[in-house]
A = this chain, B = another copy of it.
Amino acid sequence: MSNSKIVIIGAGLSGSLLAIRLAQRGFLVELHEKRSDMRKVSMSAGRSINLALSDRGINALRLIGMDEFMLDEAIPMTGRMVHGLDGSLMLQPYSGRADEYINSISRGGLNIGLLDKAESYENITIYFDSECINADLDREICQFKKPDGSIVDVAGDLFVGTDGAGSAIRQSYFNQSARLRFSFSQQYLSAGYKELHIPPTENGGFKIEKNALHIWPRGGFMMIGLPNLDGSFTMTLFTDFEGEYGFNAIKTEEDVENYFTKYFPDAYALMPDLKRDYFINPASSLGTIKCYPWQFNGKFLLLGDAAHAVVPFYGQGMNCSFEDCVVFDQCIDQFGDDWQKVLPAVQELRKINADAIADLAVGNYTEMRDLVADPVFIKKRKLETKLEQMYPDYFSKYSMVTFRADLSYSYAQSRGDKQNEVLMKICSQTDDVDSLDTEKIMEMIRQL
């Protein structure tokens, strides 16, 4: 549709997907990645191993014709399997509808699939080991450092920074804060995370329920587990750095053993390499990044984690970033390659929703570590599941965020909060959810 040359900085998940979509539209795309080709060298540490792919992300994959290919590599998770301290198990379905579930997928596998596809387009050129060190907003170029140390200026009609939470493009905005009136925030949680591992059974089977996201809520901290195709589970311990349950309280192998036998005895029995893994794998921090503006002068744009890094507790980081690409594509439908119109439109459409999912994700930490074991909350989830089964027009906050890509995050947040208030109040006043008058409840919900 145009001879526009688009330079994408960062060949992670959203950068690769965006490159494919823009190539499909006929643009000339340069895709620069600071790391080496992950298909040739082992991936660098510090990123989550698997992710929960849900409807907003699937929508984006469908846009580029890769949804079925990717879902073949994913494991459906139909609910949260809550592990009690006493070894009890309770499955809390994500939805009352059978076709609404999330999918555990390998970050590396997904990224490699996207890179392979990107490489099949003649109008995409991928540059690995090409690190953006500066976006020169006045000269309208980006500067890349090459393996031999040389600095190369790259021109283009449009620069999209999908270079993640540590974005070089965003840093270039930040360096001109007063001029751009560049608002920025990074907010760390007191909690961090550490990845651990449950290996498969000897014959490659799953040691615990395959089709669930496992949670060990412990009030103030928690562990979760997501299934991998090889039968293993990637476990993540989320806890504060400081304090009685904190990472900093665990210093020796004996501390590890005491901690896990005390708080996660059923999982401990399944983690033979725990003591080794615990001290090899880092405890990483968790933070939210927000900023504004995302675009400069119809020439530069931040998307994905570069514009809005979120904590992982709603499983929406990748899904939100992929949805950015869908909205970008819709704005091209509307404005063509008139970037002076496309970029501000993308920014206004997405900023409010990125803020919403960022705040939802912080709030969901409390829900996951504390509430999923709370009696009133359990009743509320039971009631919601029932409402979703009985009423086609009922959707929980979780469902709206996760399964209703036709609703915005900000709508899901405001409506979801109102619904929760009503339902938590009802559930706090009854012991028997099944005896409730669902018609009357739905009347209240519909009036919100």
- Check: A279 CB closer than 8 A to any chain B CB: no
Q: Check A183–B187 contact: CB distance below 8 A.
A: yes
Query: Which of B181, B186, B285 contacts A285 (CB under 8 A)?
Result: B181
Looking at A178, A183, A187, A285, the one whose CB has the most chain B CB atoms below 10 A away is: A178
Chain B nearest Cβ from A179, distance in angstroms = 8
Q: Residue of B at shortest CB range from A286?
A: B181
Residues of B within 8 A of A188 (CB): 177, 181-183
Q: Residue of B at shortest CB range from A174?
A: B186
Q: Check B181–A190 contact: CB distance below 8 A.
A: yes
Q: Residue of B at shortest CB range from A187?
A: B183
Q: Check A187–B185 contact: CB distance below 8 A.
A: yes
- Check: A339 CB closer than 8 A to any chain B CB: no
Residues of B within 8 A of A391 (CB): none
CA gap between A190 and B292 in the complex, in Å: 12
Q: How many copies does the complex hold?
A: 2
Enumerate A155-181 residues with CB–CB distance to B below 8 Å. Answer: 177-178, 181
**How many residues on the A side are at the interface (Cβ–Cβ under 8 A)?**
16
Enumerate A264-313 residues with CB–CB distance to B below 8 Å. Answer: 284-285, 287
CA gap between A65 and B346 in the complex, in Å: 57
CA gap between A271 and B255 in the complex, in Å: 74
- Check: A184 CB closer than 8 A to any chain B CB: yes
CA gap between A183 and B183 in the complex, in Å: 14
Q: Check B186–A186 contact: CB distance below 8 A.
A: no
Chain B nearest Cβ from A349, distance in angstroms = 19
- Check: A403 CB closer than 8 A to any chain B CB: no
Grouping DSSP codes into helix (H, G, I), strand (E, B) and loop, the A interface class, with mixed when no group exceeds half, is strand
- Check: A233 CB closer than 8 A to any chain B CB: no
Chain B nearest Cβ from A44, distance in angstroms = 15
CA gap between A375 and B184 in the complex, in Å: 37
Chain B nearest Cβ from A164, distance in angstroms = 13
Residues of B within 8 A of A328 (CB): none
CA gap between A88 and B287 in the complex, in Å: 52
Chain B nearest Cβ from A299, distance in angstroms = 18
Enumerate A380-406 residues with CB–CB distance to B below 8 Å. Answer: none
- Check: A144 CB closer than 8 A to any chain B CB: no
CA gap between A157 and B184 in the complex, in Å: 33
Residues of B within 8 A of A241 (CB): 181
Chain B nearest Cβ from A295, distance in angstroms = 15
Residues of B within 8 A of A189 (CB): 181
Q: Residue of B at shortest CB range from A284?
A: B178
Q: Check B186–A183 contact: CB distance below 8 A.
A: yes
Enumerate A1-56 residues with CB–CB distance to B below 8 Å. Answer: none
Q: Check A185–B182 contact: CB distance below 8 A.
A: no
Query: Which of B184, B190, B284 contacts A186 (CB under 8 A)?
Result: B184
Query: Which of B178, B181, B186 contacts A185 (CB under 8 A)?
Result: B186
Residues of B within 8 A of A178 (CB): 284-285, 287
CA gap between A189 and B178 in the complex, in Å: 11
Enumerate A183-232 residues with CB–CB distance to B below 8 Å. Answer: 183-190
Residues of B within 8 A of A284 (CB): 178
Enumerate A228-252 residues with CB–CB distance to B below 8 Å. Answer: 241
Residues of B within 8 A of A182 (CB): 186, 188
Query: Which of B181, B187, B287 contacts A287 (CB under 8 A)?
Result: B181
CA gap between A438 and B382 in the complex, in Å: 53
CA gap between A222 and B178 in the complex, in Å: 21
Chain B nearest Cβ from A80, distance in angstroms = 28
A-B pairs with beta carbons under 8 Å apart, 21 shown: A177-B186, A177-B188, A178-B285, A178-B287, A181-B188, A181-B189, A181-B241, A181-B285, A181-B287, A182-B186, A182-B188, A183-B185, A183-B186, A183-B187, A183-B188, A184-B184, A184-B185, A184-B186, A185-B185, A185-B186, A185-B187
8 closest cross-chain pairs (CB), A and B: A185-B185, A181-B188, A183-B187, A178-B285, A183-B188, A181-B285, A184-B186, A183-B186
Q: Which residues of A contact B (CB under 8 A)?
A: 177-178, 181-190, 241, 284-285, 287
- Known A-B contacts: A177-B287, A183-B287. Give 10 more (CB < 8 A): A177-B188, A178-B287, A181-B188, A181-B285, A181-B287, A182-B186, A183-B185, A183-B187, A184-B184, A184-B186
